[in-house]
Amino acid sequence: MTGRNHLLAGAAFLLLAGAPAGAQEAAAGSYDVPDATSYAEVAQWPDWAGVWYPDWSQLFAGRERAAPKFTPAAQAAMDAYQASIRETGPNQEAQAMCLPPGLPGTMQQPYPIEFVYSPGRVTILTEAYQQVRRIYVDGRPLPEDPDLFFLGNSVGHWEGDTLVVDTVGLSPQTNLVPGLAHTENSKLRERIYLQAPGQMVVEMTFTNPDLLSEPFATRVAYKLDNSFPMREYVCAENNRLRTDGHGANIDLGLEEEGEDPFAGTE
């Protein structure tokens, strides 16, 4: 064991020595771990294996339901946001910082998703920003005082072949719609199902008494397409957005690089 590992092991021992017995047992790995037999239940779930791409042929399907009705305070915030756009353009600070969009934005990105099943959990892998959504289907309740996350805290259950997901704890760094941030009272219910082989629908309904005078429902359609795999998405790798007093501007950095990367491509 290296000196560094000795220090880490010693620190862990000191922390656990003063912890309650239950915490010591959990830290020691005595909690229940699903074993191979737990996959028997997983095998009964609907087959959503593969790569799911947004179905552009249904881009506007159900959009007539997607006009939120705001509270007076939220409407005032939206009016101010629209005025700022007219004056200085859209604020792109989040994009400049490579921050993911949260919900519903994550499920509305023009990038593919995948589903991974494991005992007690459905995991959604999203190519955009390499995000991971963990949806617990082990019977646990939603947290009463949730930490605020970009993707919230999600629990779900199966109703036949439909996955019903409830999410709370959506970070105010993310938006319900562009220009209107979530508050701690935002709640989301999703229904995810196949409307036909290879055709998936994600129905989303938001409630929030701070922002909405009635539930806001929208939907996204996906189609199964295994012809091209999901790829690595590292926003910061080639991010040329820079923040300024009005959000962000695009800077390709051509002058600094000293050559035109598009030369000869006409």
Q: Is the peptide bond before 104 cis (omega within 30 degrees of 0)?
A: yes
Instruction: Look up residue 32 and give its DSSP letter.
Output: -
Q: Give 8 or 131, the one with higher predicted confidence.
A: 131
Among 148, 141, 145, 111, CA closest to 222:
111
pLDDT at 206 over 60: yes
The residue among 162, 161, 184, 165 whose CA lies nearest residue 174 is 184
Q: What is the pLDDT of residue 242?
A: 63
pLDDT of residue 239: 66
| Amino acid 61: pLDDT | 58
**Least confidently predicted of 53-62, 166-175, 210-219, 244-253:** 244-253
In this prediction, residue 9 carries a pLDDT of: 45
- Model confidence pTM above 0.85: no
pLDDT tens per residue, range 2-26: 444 444 444 443 444 444 444 444 4
Strand partners, 125: 114, 132
Gyration radius of the chain over CA positions: 22
Q: Return the percentage of the chain with pLDDT > 90, whole number.
A: 58
* The pair of three-digit structure tokens given for residue 69, joined into one six-digit string: 């009705």
Tell me, what's the pLDDT at 15? Answer: 42
108-117, 185-194, 257-266: least confident range: 257-266
| Distance (Å, whole) CA 32 – CA 30 | 7
pLDDT tier for residue 234 given thresholds of 50, 70 and 90 = confident
Mean pLDDT score of the chain, rounded to an integer? 82
Task: Please report, as a single letter, which amino acid is at residue 167.
Answer: T
pLDDT at position 192, please? 98
Q: pLDDT of 39-59, one tens digit each?
A: 888 999 999 999 999 998 876
Buried b vs exposed e over 201-214: b needs ≥16 C-beta within 10 Å? bbbbebebeebbee
Backbone angles phi, psi at 32, to 5 degrees: -70, 130
Q: Which of 205-209, 231-235, 239-243 has the highest mean pLDDT?
A: 205-209
Region of poorest pLDDT, from 56-70, 75-89, 165-179, 195-209: 56-70
Question: How would you classify the pairing of strands 121-126 and 113-118?
Answer: antiparallel
| Residue 9, amino acid | A
Residue with tokens 């000795």: 6
pLDDT in the model for residue 22: 43
pLDDT at 244 over 80: no
pLDDT digits over 144-169, tens only? 999 999 999 999 999 999 999 999 99
The whole-number average pLDDT for the span 122-126 is 97
